[in-house]
Amino acid sequence: MTLDDLAVAHVRPGERIRWVARPSLLGLAPILLGGAAATLGGWIGPFLVFGAEPEAFGLATFAMLIVFGFLPAVGKRVLALVFSRYVVTEERVYAITSFVSVNVQSVPLSRLSRVTVSQGPILNWFDLWTATISAYGEAGTTIVIPAFRDGGRLLAETSDGIERGANVAWIVKGD
């Protein structure tokens, strides 16, 4: 069973699917660019500040950034992008992740309190969006959808919930 089949299987019987998102691996661009900048700064920074040789001082910093900072961040993001699907039906928003086990989080459209769809400067280059969906009365229920296409359609498909119960919807375009 593929992850797309798994996502459809977790939708409640009788609900019609209105929107499905599959995050793009291009969502790794901000982490890769930030990691490259941090790595370059960690390797060249000590040379510029202290006058030390980059090979002597910067290599240890470089190795620590890669092992303890960069690789875990990229690994976590890859898992989130590859093994997650997001579904909007006539009644609910679902976040389905399947890596070792299946984790399904759902929020009724009538309980949506805030839907924010935004685009930072790097995601803007790839026409990708990030959404944050929050709900009333669901203790700490927030669904974050990273690096997906067509942010306007997500707002349109969740507008039924916004009209019935939610008070706010935003769309923010990057610079």
Give the 3-state secondary structure of residue 37.
helix
What is the tens place of the pLDDT at every residue in 69-90? 777 877 777 887 888 889 999 8
Predicted local confidence at residue 65, as pLDDT:
66
Pull the structure tokens for residue 81. 């992008």
Count the Cβ atoms, other than its own, within 10 Å of residue 4.
13
pLDDT at 47 > cutoff 70: no
Of 173, 116, 124, the C-alpha closest to 145 is 116
Q: Which of 32-36, 124-128, 141-145 has the highest mean pLDDT?
A: 141-145
- What phi, psi does 18 have (nearest 5°)? -105, -25
Q: Where are the domains of the chain?
A: 3-22+86-172, 29-78
pTM of the model: 0.72
The CATH code that applies to domain 3-22+86-172 is 2.30.29
